Chain A
Amino acid sequence: MLELVLFFVFGTIAVGAAINLLAQRHPINSALSLIVVMASLAALFLLMGAEFLAAIQVIVYAGAIMVLFVFVIMLLNAGEEERTPGSRVAMLLGFPAVVLLAGLVAWTLLARNPHPVPVDLAGRFLGSPAAIAQLLFRDFLLPFEITSILILIAIMGAVVLASPAGTTTGSGSPDQPPARREE
C-alpha cells in the first residue's frame, strides 16, 4: 500500500518534471527539471531494491553530469528559445506523438512479459553494493576495464574539443602575444 503511494508520488513528479523540461524555454530551467527527474528516478530505484544504483544515480548523474550541463549553460549564456511558427506546429504535433509513442513502447514491453512479478520488497534488498561488486569485478570485468579506457578517450576528446583554437596544437596565431610561462 505504502509502496503504491510512493510509486505514484515519485512517478508523477518524474513525468511532471519531464513535461516541464519540454515546456520551458530557457535551458537552465530544463536542466533543473531534468535533475528533478533523475532524483525521482533514484527514489524509484530504491523502491525496487536497487540501493547502490539509487545512490550512484544521485552521485554520478544528478551530481556530476548535470553539473556539467549547468556549467555549460551558465558559461555559454545563449538565452531563451525563440517562438517561431515552426515551433508552434511542432508543439501541436508533439502531444499526440508522445501518447502514440508511449503506447507503442509500453505495448512492446508488456506484451512479451508472460509472468509479471509484482514489486514487493518485504525487507529484502536485491542490489546491495556487495552483490553488485561480485558481478562487476568477476563476470563483467572486461567491460569494466573497457569503460575505463572509454572514459579516458572521452576526457582527451573533451579537452581537445573545448580548448580555444590554437592552444593545443602549440602554434598560436601570429598576432597574439607569446604565451606566458607558467611558474
Chain B
Amino acid sequence: MVPISYYLVLSAILFALGVVGFLIKRNLITLFMSIELMLNAVNLAFVAFAWQWKSLNGQVFVFFVMVVAAAEAAVGLAIIIAVFRTRETLNIDRVNLLKL
C-alpha cells in the first residue's frame, strides 16, 4: 500500500531536478535532456492521478505527451546539429549572438 503522495513527491523532485539542470548546465544536449527529464516527471504525475481518479484519460494523455516529446526531440536534435555545424561549439554561453 503506497500512498499516492509518495509518487507525487517523487514527480516533484524529478521535475525540480530537471528545471535546475536546465538552468545550470552549459552543454546544449544536456539542456535538452533536462527537458526530457521534466516531461518524464510530468508523465509520472499524470499516471498517479489516473490511478487516483480511476480514469484512463490520464494514461492516454501520457501517450500524447510521449508522442510530442518524440517529435520535439527529433526537431530539437536537428537544430542542435545545425548549430554545431555553423558554430563548432555546443556551449550555450558561446551561442548567445546572432552573428556567427
Given contacts A110-B5, A119-B1, contact A87 B24 (CB under 8 A): yes
CB-based contact A116/B5 at 8 Å = yes
- With beta carbons under 8 angstroms apart, the residue of A50, A98, A135, A162 that contacts B20 is A98
Q: Mark A90-130, 1 if CB is under 8 A from B, else 0.
A: 11011001111111011001100100111110000011000
- With beta carbons under 8 angstroms apart, the residue of B1, B6, B14, B84 that contacts A14 is B14
Q: Mark A3-38, 1 if CB is under 8 A from B, else 0.
A: 110010001001100110110000100110010011
CB-based contact B13/A34 at 8 Å = no
CB-based contact B60/A81 at 8 Å = no
CB-based contact B57/A135 at 8 Å = yes
CB-based contact A161/B78 at 8 Å = yes
A-to-B contact residues, CB < 8 Å: 3-4, 7, 11, 14-15, 18-19, 21-22, 27, 30-31, 34, 37-38, 41, 44-45, 47-50, 52-53, 56-57, 60-61, 64-65, 68-69, 72-73, 75-76, 78, 81-82, 84, 86-87, 90-91, 93-94, 97-103, 105-106, 109-110, 113, 116-120, 126-127, 131-132, 135-136, 140, 143, 147, 150-151, 153-155, 157-162, 164-165
**Which residues of A are found within 8 Å of B98, using beta-carbon distances?**
none
Name B's interface SS. Answer: helix
CB-based contact A94/B66 at 8 Å = no
Nearest CB in chain A: distance from B62 CB, A:
6
Interface extent on B, as a size class? Answer: 35 or more
